[in-house]
Amino acid sequence: MMAYQIILVDDHIILAKAIQSIIEKDDAFHVTHVLKNGRELIDLLPGLDVKPDLILLDINMPVMNGMEVAKVLQQQYPELKFLTLTMNDEEMSIIKMFNLGAKGYLLKDADPEELMFAMTSILNKGFYYSDFVASVLMKNISGKSESSDPKVQTIVLKDRELEFLKHCCSEMTYKEIADVMFLSPKTIDGYREHLFQKLNVKSRVGLVLYSFRKNLFKIG
Q: CATH code at 157?
A: 1.10.10.10
Q: Of 117, 139, 161, which closes a domain?
A: 139
Q: Based on the fold, state whether residues 173 and 72 are members of the same structural domain.
A: no
Q: Based on the fold, state whether residues 62 and 125 are members of the same structural domain.
A: yes
Confidence bin at 139 (pLDDT 50/70/90) = low
Q: Specify the number of domains making up the chain.
A: 2
pLDDT for residue 18 is more than 50: yes
Q: Based on the fold, state whether residues 135 and 180 are members of the same structural domain.
A: no
Query: Domain limits at 94?
Result: 4-139
3-state DSSP of the chain: CCCEEEEEECCCHHHHHHHHHHHCCCCCEEEEEEECCHHHHHHHHHHCCCCCCEEEECCCCCCCCHHHHHHHHHHHCCCCCEEEEECCCCHHHHHHHHHCCCCEEEECCCCHHHHHHHHHHHHHHCCECCHHHHHHHHHHHCCCCHHHCCCCCCCCCCHHHHHHHHHHCCCCCHHHHHHHCCCCHHHHHHHHHHHHHHHCCCCHHHHHHHHHHHCCCCCC
Q: Is residue 122 part of a domain?
A: yes
Q: Based on the fold, state whether residues 98 and 170 are members of the same structural domain.
A: no
- The predicted-structure confidence for 164-201, as pLDDT tens digits, reads as follows 998 988 888 899 999 999 988 888 998 899 999 888 88
Q: Is residue 220 part of a domain?
A: no
Q: CATH code at 115?
A: 3.40.50.2300
- The predicted-structure confidence for 36-48, as pLDDT tens digits, reads as follows 999 999 999 999 9
- The predicted-structure confidence for 86-129, as pLDDT tens digits, reads as follows 999 888 899 889 889 999 999 998 899 999 999 999 998 888 88
